[in-house]
Amino acid sequence: MYESGGNLVHVYGQYSVGKASGEDLARAAVDCGGSVANAAMMVDGVGEVEEAGKLGEEGVDCLEEGGGADAPAPSLGILEGKSATVSQKGLDIVKAHLAQFGSFPENEAMIARLQAAMEAGERVSGADLSFYMHELAESTLMKGGMVYEDAHEAALAKYDVSRFSVYHPDVIAANPASFGDVWRNAWGLSR
């Protein structure tokens, strides 16, 4: 169900097939060149999950090859070596989604990183991309009625990423009380 492969089209396709509305598409958060039409193509073109990889190759270029890598790093799954731009819509979705859990410095720091990248016109990769995509997917799944626990796991599985990949090492290092040694070890950080 949560097989990886392909690229972003797969990610959105899993839960958008058959019920994506125009608003849903407009909310597609990764900026595929700035057009809703491109976002629509991502979803409309999916049809079946099995087609996702192929369709991804055909024209969905939201995630570009060559994203920067933080090494050593936990697995980034299908996001490995990829990068994406952050859209205002996407960032707003992430902010609104996280707001329901309360305000926490580690989340605020990750949002600040995404905001800074967007304002600088820079693509995000590595942990920033993992966090961004995770929150977008989790938000959409929960809006669709899935409980948090299931949505969280599904969002991780959707990208086949390590659960330790969703916070940038700088954020982990800056918030040592919020993360156990396993997180630091995953990123090669000293305690």
Helix axis angle, 36-44 to 8-16, nearest 10°: 70
Interacting span for other proteins (CB under 8 A) from 1-9, 54-62, 82-90, 180-188: 180-188
Give me the least distance between CB of 121 and other proteins, in Å please: 24
Interacting span for other proteins (CB under 8 A) from 6-14, 40-48, 75-83, 128-136: 128-136
Does 30 bind other proteins (CB under 8 A)? Our answer is no
Q: Which is nearer to other proteins, 24 or 138 (CB)?
A: 138
Interface pick for other proteins out of 10, 82, 123, 134 (rule CB under 8 A): 134
Q: Which is nearer to other proteins, 20 or 154 (CB)?
A: 154
CB 32 within 8 A of CB 65: no
Q: What is the DSSP string of 132-161?
A: HHHHHHHHHHHHTT--HHHHHHHHHHHHT-
Give me the residues paired with residue 64 across strands: 83
71: helix, coil or strand? Answer: coil
Q: Which two tokens stand for residue 151?
A: 């949505």
| φ, ψ (nearest 5 deg) of residue 47 | 65, -80
Determine the Cα–Cα distance for residues 53 and 155; give it in Å rounded to an integer.
18
Does 158 bind other proteins (CB under 8 A)? Our answer is no
Query: Which residues, 6 or more positions from 59, have their beta carbon under 8 angstroms from its beta carbon?
Result: 41, 45
Does 61 bind other proteins (CB under 8 A)? Our answer is no
Interface pick for other proteins out of 1, 101, 145, 190 (rule CB under 8 A): 101
> 160-179: which residues touch other proteins (CB under 8 A)?
163-164, 166-167, 176-179
Interface pick for other proteins out of 100, 120, 145, 190 (rule CB under 8 A): 100
Q: What is the dihedral of CA 165, 76, 32, 39, to 10 degrees?
A: -90
Does 145 bind other proteins (CB under 8 A)? Our answer is no
Task: Give the binding site for other proteins (CB under 8 A).
Answer: 97-98, 100-102, 104, 106-107, 110, 131, 134-135, 138, 148-149, 152-153, 163-164, 166-167, 176-183, 191
